[in-house]
Chains A and B, each alone.
Chain A
Amino acid sequence: MRRTAGARHRRPLALALLALPLAWSAAAEELPDAREIARRAEDVLRGTSAYTEGEMTIVSRRLPVPRVVRFRSWDDRGGKRSFIRILAPAKDRGTGFLKLHPNLWTYVPRVERTMRIPPSMMLQSWMGSDFTNDDLVRESSQLDDYDHRLLAVEEAFRGLGGSGPSRAFVLEYRPHEDAPVVWGRIVAWIEARHATPLRQEFYDEAGVQLRRMDFGEVRETGGRHVPHLWVMTPLDKPGHETRIQIDEIRFDEAFDDAIFTTRHLKGSG
């Protein structure tokens, strides 16, 4: 049954009003195409490929102390494949995840088993975080499965950790009717000059906000201004938070095909 829609988030409305005068000045300023902005933001985050080393910190009511997971990942955006190896904690060391779109495989060294993750597990949390296995598989679709629209331009956006103020484009992503995505819409703040994603808000179809992604610690790497801190806050689970701290990230390298095999899963690299 439909949950009584809480207060619709006011921000988009307010911004929409701001957009009116902006529309008139559009001719003067020549605002870029929304889809183009989105494309550039995606590129900042992922390039055509990305090698990442980092640390994920999970804060949850169920955990007496936050859990810290160290990982290393190879993401081949064009080939729709990626590989993640878990380095720490010791209990999970050696665990691997292989995404060959649309399937997700995992290897657990302790039991020496490789298996494909079935549909019923796709919505389970990944490594105990607030991301789901499904998120891992779906992340490439933000460009293809959505229509993009520029809502407004915010002049003084303050982001994670008080960073900024920056000038940001506010975009709305609406999924295509046939896209297998449950979000009603996503509102994204993208820094105007370097197309660095600053925040994403995820709403269901009733307009209730379900989660928020904030991006911070922007550093220049590989010709891009890349956020090195991602924080995901699920709004339906108070007290939960997942932070990803990137230590090293390299873009646009060519990866050996052998990485994206189940054989590699069983290795340790």
Chain B
Amino acid sequence: MLTLRLAWRNVWRNPRRTGLTVAATVFAVVLVMVFVSMGAGIHEQMIEDAVRLSSGHVSVSGEGYLENRTLEQFVRFDAELARSLDATPGVAGWAPRVVGFGLLSNGPDTQGIAVLGVDPEREATVTSLPARVREGRFLGEAGAREIVLGRRLADALDAGLGDELLLYSVAYSLEMAYELFRVVGVMRLPDPALDRGLALIHLADAQAFFVYDDRVSEVAILAQSAEHTGEVAAAVAGVLPGDGVEVHGWPEIMPELVQFIFLDDAGMYIMLLILVVVVAFGILNTLLMSVLERRREFGVALALGLRPRAIFALVYLESMALAGVGLAIGLAIALPLVLWLVGHPIDLESEAMRGAYELLGFEPRISWKLEATHPLGSAITIFGVAVLAALYPAFKASRARPVDALRSV
């Protein structure tokens, strides 16, 4: 206890110097917290946006679907499967879908497209597609033969609301499949390729069109959040009928997103590392100066019998105290700040950033997400740095020679 109070008093002997070092530490802590939380928030946002435009967090599909994506790969979807999914914990929403390819024509204009057969109500619980309708409305009842197009697709076909378009493709039974569909809505999709190449029809209409009976291409499942993907995937796999059916989490469906996030994080951590190292040198310098100017004191203490180890420990305590104060103040500022940012994401203004985000299919905004590991990680980092920085000064302090002390008396 005495040592602690001593360490504390020593730290504040030179308030200005200590103050500057603490300020540097506070700066580093705040920056680390803000950036790491920003990274977590942005990446979570990216994942959410991406899964809500593709197959949700977890996708149940036929064997080999990921590689081939043809009508050959299917899941038989019945009331029992629906019940099982409803009962599975962690499932926030699920939507069966039929995915096929075909040609859409409006008179002489023809476009090759991906046809998505969805259940309008269920689809809204998983993807953002129903919400992207800008003109008209989303799909209504089964059997009404309605179709919703991307904006660019509608433009390419010169089609508007109420027009009848011919969809033709090859059914599962290998016969030609033809049907007229009426345009009821036009949606805006961020990715131009999707906007130009996707059309939605009712699930039941798709099953009739492709002669699919009760088959579906996949069931898209939304988990409570991206973190729960693994658990939900396992839980769903447990209730599934058996072979011929596969369960995939979004990292398997979009490995490029996983890698992108990894590289993005890596870049951020490197930058923060540089910052922390700079601050570390600052702490080192402060401690060193403080030790050197007390060389006489240490010498006297050693002459009087104090063990070198005690001095070593004392200097270490001073370093910890320095770090601790910096960390405390830093977190005191950073935590409320980050919490506020979590509630107030920033919408991007600059055209460059908006453009880049939208082309990738993400919302142009910066979000924050605070996780327990963030303050914990900051604390470990700062204390770790303090431990390393104190090594040399503490060593020097414990080696002070009583002779020098006496000499300067």
Contact = CB atoms under 8 A, between A and B. Distances in A.
A128 B175 contact: yes
B388 interface: no
A121 B174 CA distance: 12
A128 B297 CA distance: 98
B178 A120 contact: no
Contacts, number: 47
A108 B110 contact: no
A120 B101 CA distance: 11
A235 interface: no
Contacts of A128: 171, 173-176
B103 A129 contact: no
Given A118-B103, A118-B110, A120-B112, A60 B180 contact: no
Interface in A104-157: 106, 108, 110-111, 113, 115, 118, 120-121, 124-125, 127-129
Contact of B178 (A58, A108, A124): A108
B179 interface: yes
A63 interface: yes
A174 interface: no
Given A111-B180, A115-B105, A118-B110, A60 B174 contact: yes
Nearest to A120: B112
Contact of B170 (A92, A106, A108, A125): A125
Contacts of A124: 170, 176
Nearest to B213: A64
Interface string A63-105: 1000100000000000000000000000010000000000000
B172 interface: yes
A129 B110 contact: no
A3 interface: no
Interface residues of A, number: 20
Contacts of B168: 108, 115, 121
Nearest to A91: B175
Contacts of B179: 111
B166 A121 contact: no
A127 B175 contact: yes
A62 interface: yes
A268 to B, nearest CB: 17
Chain B interface helix/strand/loop/mixed: strand
Contacts of B176: 106, 108, 124, 127-128
Contacts of A110: 178
Contacts of B103: 118, 120-121
Contacts of B172: 62
A113 B178 CA distance: 9
A63 B175 CA distance: 11
Interface residues of B, number: 16
A121 B173 CA distance: 16
Contacts of A63: 173-174
Contact of A111 (B170, B171, B175, B178): B178
Contacts of A60: 173-174
A108 B178 CA distance: 8
B173 A67 contact: yes
Nearest to A127: B175
Interface in B141-176: 166, 168, 170-176
A115 B107 CA distance: 8
A111 B145 CA distance: 13
Interface in B166-195: 166, 168, 170-176, 178-180
Nearest to B170: A124
A106 B176 CA distance: 11
Contacts of A62: 172-174
Contacts of B112: 120
A63 B173 CA distance: 6
Nearest to A112: B180
Nearest to B178: A108
A128 B170 CA distance: 8
Contacts of A92: 175
B96 to A, nearest CB: 20
A67 B166 CA distance: 25
Interface string A216-253: 00000000000000000000000000000000000000
Nearest to A115: B105
Contacts of A111: 166, 178-180
Contacts of B171: 128
Contacts of A67: 173, 175
Interface string A39-78: 0000000000000000000101011000100000000000
Contact of B174 (A118, A120, A129): A129
Contacts of B105: 113, 115
B166 A125 contact: no
B82 to A, nearest CB: 24
Given A128-B171, A128-B176, A129-B174, 4 more contacts: A58-B174, A92-B175, A106-B176, A128-B174
Interface of B: 103, 105, 110, 112, 166, 168, 170-176, 178-180
- The 8 lowest CB-CB distance pairs between A and B, nearest first, are A128-B174, A128-B175, A108-B178, A125-B174, A124-B170, A111-B180, A113-B166, A111-B178
